[in-house]
Structure 1
Amino acid sequence: MSDNITIRSACGDDAAALARIYAYYVEETAITFEYTVPDMAEMERRRQEISQHYPYLVAETDGKVIGYAYAHAFYGREAYTWSVESSIYVDVNARKRGIGRKLYEALEKALKSMGILNINACIAVPRDDQDPYVTNGSLNFH
């Protein structure tokens, strides 16, 4: 993989890549809070729903999607209108290359242009260093 990374809006053609990237986190970690891997159709349904109101971005290199980020409503009360929750997933084989940072910066820029004031992240933190399903990766990133 080259380090020429493009950030763009996700589209329907990305559904298989989104499902592939996300599957690792569902199957091998506890950070998604999901037990069943969503299929390609479900990932596309989610992308379409979120994209109606918020940015849904992908990182791509050499024509391959290697990460994605999106924001969605933080909480269903009116006072939270200017707040979102963010999610970022990077292909397990493409981590530690700054892709998450590039996605987050692009997401933050897009949200700022919408007038969003607060970006929140739900982060799983391990109880100790021996947890095989949760690391401090998200905590350190954020």
Structure 2
Amino acid sequence: MIREVNQQDAPAITTIYNYYIENTIVTFEETPLDTSEMAARIKSTTGKLPWIVYEKDGIVVGYAYASEWKSRCSYRYSLETTVYLKHGKNGQGIGSALYQELISRLRGKGYHVLIGGISLPNDASVALHEKFGFEKIAQFKEVGYKFDSYIDVGYWELILAD
């Protein structure tokens, strides 16, 4: 079931996200978050933009949200989209369901562009974005550094037709 996030979801979301911090290049954060930091992030986003969770058998197994692309006012019609799944839950359609719902909630709200930033390589995330019509528009070589390696970041863009 997909539903709006609430503050009680912060511990589960923190656990999901910290796996990626500690074990992958998917995020460039390097220090695990505590629940209060995640709760603050949820609170700062949900007043303006959607943040949704996928709950299965009473457990949050994934989440997706939109955030400002950049803070300058001329970017106000562009958003960055994000999705994370609990480790081991990929390939079950959860990410697709979350992204479909997130994109649906953003359509018709006056936004023009959705942007997905992907640390590369990440075939699953590339496939997810392209499934929903995102097109690769840029790749920055070796802009991130994590786990003793330089990492490329690609950007995929979806122009919303209103």
Normalised by the shorter chain, which TM-score bucket?
A: 0.7 to 0.9
Secondary structure in 1 matching 2:33: coil
Are the equivalent residues in 2 in contact too, given 1:124–1:138 (CA < 8 A)? Answer: no
Secondary structure in 1 matching 2:49: coil
> Are 1:92 and 2:87 an aligned pair?
yes
Are the equivalent residues in 2 in contact too, given 1:15–1:40 (CA < 8 A)? Answer: yes
Aligned to 1:137: 124
Are the equivalent residues in 2 in contact too, given 1:74–1:120 (CA < 8 A)? Answer: yes
Structure 2 gaps of 5+ residues are: 130-162
Q: Which has the bigger relative contact order, CA under 8 A and spacing at least 6? A: 1
Letter in 2 for 1:140: A
CA shift, 1:140, in A, is 2.1
If each structure's strand is expressed as a fraction of its own residues, which one has the higher value?
Answer: 2
> Are 1:37 and 2:32 an aligned pair?
yes
Q: Which of 62, 65, 73 is the aligned partner of 1:67?
A: 62
Letter in 1 for 2:124: G
Aligned to 1:76: 71
Aligned to 1:129: none
Which runs of 4 or more aligned residues in structure 1 lie more than 2 Å from their structure 2 counterparts after TM superposition? none
| TM-score, scaled to structure 2 | 0.76
How far apart, CA to CA, are the structure 1 residues paired with 2:91 and 2:6?
25
Aligned to 1:110: 105
Letter in 2 for 1:7: I
Give the root-mean-square deviation of aligned CA atoms.
1.0
| TM-score, scaled to structure 1 | 0.87
Structure 1 gaps of 5+ residues are: 1-5, 127-134
> Are 1:26 and 2:26 an aligned pair?
no
Are the equivalent residues in 2 in contact too, given 1:74–1:84 (CA < 8 A)? Answer: yes
If each structure's helix is expressed as a fraction of its own residues, which one has the higher value?
Answer: 1
CA shift, 1:111, in A, is 1.0
Describe how 1:40-55 pairs up with structure 2 within 5 A. Answer: 40-55=35-50
What CA deviation, in whole Å up to 9, does each residue of 1:23-63 have, x standing for no partner?
11101101111000111111100000011110010000111
